[in-house]
Amino acid sequence: METTWFCLISLMIAVYVVLDGFDLGAGIIHLGVARTDAERRAVLASIGPVWDGNEVWLLAAGGTLYFAFPGLYAAGFSGFYLPLMIVLWLLILRGCAIEFRNHMESPVWAPFWDVVFSGASALLAVFFGAALGNVVRGVPLDASGWFFEPLWTNFRLGADAGILDWYTILVGIAAYFALTQHGALWVALRTQGELRERSRRVARWSGWGALILTLLVTWATFSIQPQVPRNFAAHPWGAVFPLLAVGGLAGVIAEVRRENADLGAFLASCAYLAGMLTSVVFGVYPYVLPACTNPAYSLTIYNASAAAYGLRVGFVWWVIGIALASGYFVFLYRHTAGRIESGGHGSH
């Protein structure tokens, strides 16, 4: 059951990144591709019916993590307290920007919330990427399972590393380009005219940035986390995950150059993100939080999990709950499909 729950939580996080990733990407490009107030309303309208629903997957993954791996939840939420508070505030600011923007007619009000929306979205992409980098790199866990990391120290790897070092920053920048591409493809899929064309151009250049950074992050990951090459060498079938990422990114680069291929390019971007995340979780298994000080202190699916009986009973309720949530999301996306006229209102 431990492996089953590890896979289920990984799946939920991947779904969150794919769905809320285009929300964040739309925010990142919001000020760049939208030149008028009508176009900015169209960008917001492209995510308006779904942005808050997409974040449910983050809450659900956090709740499932607390249930299935309480040891990881306790260590991670105490050790990562500062960045978690930063992420929480960024999520709050981003939600406020979307909801408050259209509440007042003023030459200052709407532009202010546009800047907040874009800035919070960009910082969230970087911090989410840095968080993933910390999980791969490892944290200074001690024998009791406790750790604390400052936001940064000397930006180098080692026992005294901070949340931000050269590797986690590299992963954060890669996440920024990947989500910029993802959001630009979504906006291109949902809008039309000049706004769509500018979004397609952003997707093209950010795709090349994502490609370069993916190669750099892959090289760095294989160099600093020995569990990753060990797993891929022991289980060659795991190559299907990086191949999914490579195929998805190649599909984006090819499809975005074709006219009327917005859906294909966006689906390829979904495959790229899913392939990258599944490659990471396959590589670090069975670790859920490696220790960079002593591997014996690492949290694994075995020493961080709940009791076996609880995992079995919880699985039944998880299936029921996820079936209901998935059905709602299918209904929501089917009824909000189609392109948006410029000037549409973007909250709900």
Give the model's pLDDT for residue 346.
45
User: Cα–Cα distance between 96 and 223 in angstroms, integer?
Assistant: 41
Q: Do 46 and 186 contact (CB within 8 A), yes or no?
A: yes
Which positions of the chain have pLDDT values less than 50? 344-348
End-to-end CA distance of the chain: 39
The residue to which tokens 């709602």 are assigned: 328
Give the model's pLDDT for residue 232.
94
Q: Where are the alpha helices (DSSP H) in the chain?
A: 2-33, 37-47, 51-54, 56-68, 70-79, 81-100, 109-137, 166-190, 193-224, 227-234, 240-255, 262-284, 308-335
Give the model's pLDDT for residue 305.
83
Q: Do 53 and 332 contact (CB within 8 A), yes or no?
A: yes
- Model-level pTM greater than 0.75? yes
The residue to which tokens 């089917």 are assigned: 334
User: Cα–Cα distance between 163 and 155 in angstroms, integer?
Assistant: 9
pLDDT 10s digits, 62-90? 888 888 888 888 888 888 888 889 999 99
Give the model's pLDDT for residue 342.
58
Whether residue 226 is preceded by a cis peptide bond, meaning omega within 30 degrees of 0, is no
Q: Which sequence spans correspond to the domains of the chain? A: 2-335
Give the model's pLDDT for residue 143.
82
Kindly state the tokens that stand for 335: 């009824």
Inter-CA distances, 200 with 125, 252, 260, 277, 279, Å: 20, 11, 11, 24, 27
